[in-house]
Every structure is written in C-alpha cells, then in structure tokens.
Structure 1
C-alpha cells in the first residue's frame, strides 16, 4: 500500500538516520513492493523471495546510517535485496548474522576499514534498539530464541543453533524464516509507537552476570541473586546427566575449584530469555582445559531462572 506521508525519500532517510523509527517504517512500507519485485525476479515466487525482502528490512535497521545519498534510498534498498538474493543463489555454506550488505559495491555502502562492530552496537548507534527489541519480544519464545542466537549472539551457525535448541537444522531454518517474517510485520505496524528502554533490561542482566560470577568466587550468592536461581532451576546438556536434575550452583563451584574463571563479554536479554557470553581462562598446565569461550543460555519465568544450558560456540574461523 502506498504511503500517504508527503515527505520525500531524502527527508524520511535523514529522519530515520537521526533515530526516528516511524520514518524508517514509512520508507520500508513505501518501497516494499519494489523490493519484493527485485527478489522475485531473481528467486521466483515463494518463501525464498519473501525471506530476502525480510532480511533486507532487518538489514536496513542496522545500516540506514550508512546511506550516503538519502534521495537514492530506494535504489539502496533494492540493492540490498538483490545482493541478498544473489547470495542465496550462490551460497555454498551458511553465513551468520543479519547479512546482505558486506558485498555490496562501495558506492551503495560505505564500509569502514576496521572490523565491523557487533550488531547491537550498530543498532544503538542508529537509535533503533528499543523498536527492534519490542518487536523481538512480540515473537513466540521458540522463534525469539533462534532469532536472538542467530542475530545477536556469537552462536550463529545453523548447526550450533540446532544443537542448542535440540531440534533439526531444518527446524532452525523454518523458525528463522517465521521469526523474520513476523519481525518485519511487527516492525512496520509499530514504527510510530513509543517503545520501552531495552538498554535497561540488558544492563540489569549484565549486572546480574557480574554479581553472579563475583559472588560464586566468594563462595556464596547474596539473597537478591540466589532468589533468581531457585531450587527448581536445573542445568541441561553437557554438565547434566540424562534424567538427573542438576542445580547450576554446584557445577559453578566445581569449575571454580578447577581454576576456571569466566569474564562477561556480551549480554543479550529479553524478558524470558537471557544469553551471557563469557571469555574463559584456564589455570596454567590444565590437562583438560575449558574452551576459551562459552555462553550461558537461560530460560526464565518472572525473571527467575528455570533452565540453564552452557553452550560452547565453535571457534571463529
């Protein structure tokens, strides 16, 4: 449906670059038909074309600030779709993240020479974080989990996500496709609304992670932390035996006794899913060292941890 907003593309782009979510929503709605036409011309009618459009919309959230010519944003959006569609056609292996722009010609996308920052930092720079996370919270938990892992954590390959979620790779693909589709629809429908401060939730979770590690090293958890780890909390996966419920606290104590130390590197938090990514140091001469990175994946209810799975991401190549 055509936008009724009389603003030019250039005006909407500048407003979006200054952090106005409604302006970006209008841009995406205005150019949705032409973006879909590009995708269908390369991928044909079907879910792949829809996925390419949805990926492009999510990519625009991250990189709208990189548009050099605001008046040509329509061409930029179509180039994002075209590039993503071509990547789908020629891909020989999975590539993680909200991708689609790294291989565009430089006249479409000004890339910095240094390593690109983490997706969440890009989102924060563009003042779109709260809008995005409100949309993430609208997803059902199963869809939210795969989206958070794929796009906001270091656990990004389909194989890793499948192992974490204990589902086949095909199910991961299906859930990601559903999640992106729902995200795109929610973002367009909520662009002009006010949104909760997502940074507050993330910062609270980061502080909880720091306090949990510090308290466990001292040998006890203060009441405000222990209340978040009730007796019914359990670890699953590598540190738990099949059919046996293992509370996280004694496992953490065993790791500490072995000289393993963890340091918070990155936190991803929604209301009932939390991911703490850790750097790990081992004692000198350890015969069975812990991998250099790990992640705590927590499923919560009313903030209290119900299930914890410790995940060891594949090392970066």
Structure 2
C-alpha cells in the first residue's frame, strides 16, 4: 500500500509542494505548513509536561530545525513524523538544560511511598511512544485524535470546528485512525500490555 499524499485543506496543496515553495521563500507556504502542523508539534512538546513558554520554545526551535534541514527532507509526505521526532528531541534537550541549571535543594521531602518511580517513567515513555506513532498517521487523523484524546474537547461541535470536518465524519475518521494506530503499535510490539 503506497503512501497517500497529504493535501492541506486550506490551500489544496500537498506537503511536498508546500515544502518546495517554502524552500523558495514563499511565506504563504510556510504559513500553511505551520497552520497544518504546529498543533502536532505543540502537542508532542506538551506531552513532556513543559510549561507553556517552554512548549513555545520547543515549537519555535522545531520550526527552526525544519528551516535548517529543509533541503534534506527525503520524504516530504512524512513531515509529520519528522516534526514529532524533532519536537521530542528538542523537548529532551530543554529538559536536560533545565536539569543542569537547577539549583541543588538540600531539604527534599521524603518520596511518596505510594508513587512507583519505575511505573511513572514507563507511563511517560509509553505516552511518548503512542503520540510519536500518532504523528505518523495522516494529518487529518492526527488532528482528530489530538482533539479527542489530548485536548479533550467537550463536544463534537468543538471537535468539528477544531478539525475542520463535518460532525458526521468524526466517528468514521476516528474509527479508521484508531484501527491504523492499533496496527502500527502492534507492528512495534507496543500493544495494550506495553502501553
């Protein structure tokens, strides 16, 4: 089964064409790429529980990395995955820098015996694996899953407005997205027992 080209709903252009035009300095193409993918970039950074300003920093740095690597993107139609991986790396880098500069605290409270540190780390790793896999889905499905499960929008009207899709399309699109996500996770041995 071949890769299906993502076409921006707003511009009607494929990611490949948008990237080519952006490389030629077309600011409208850059704007459309950001409109199409910034929510994904910010949701990946948000999965690290960063403060809003840090999420913005990660997003800005991720877009800067795209500018720097624009001519080396081998498969433009997989831009979503590239952006998700880059946002993950930038989030880790930000956390490492923050840890290096954090002041040493002498009086630390006793750890809560009810909190299992290994389980906490495993849960965080599983969430990052899950959202990185979501980033490989077609952008329309990504936006829908983010709206439904990360942003936890209250109504289908909000979801439809956020995702620019008719309410009647939400259920079938969600079913296809979850089915595709389940297959991708199973291919990576990240089934329900691992998440």
Higher RCO (Cα < 8 Å, 6 or more apart): 2
Larger Rg: 1
Q: Which has the higher strand share?
A: 1
TM-score norm. by structure 1 comes to: 0.27
TM-score norm. by structure 2 comes to: 0.42
Q: Which has the higher helix share?
A: 2
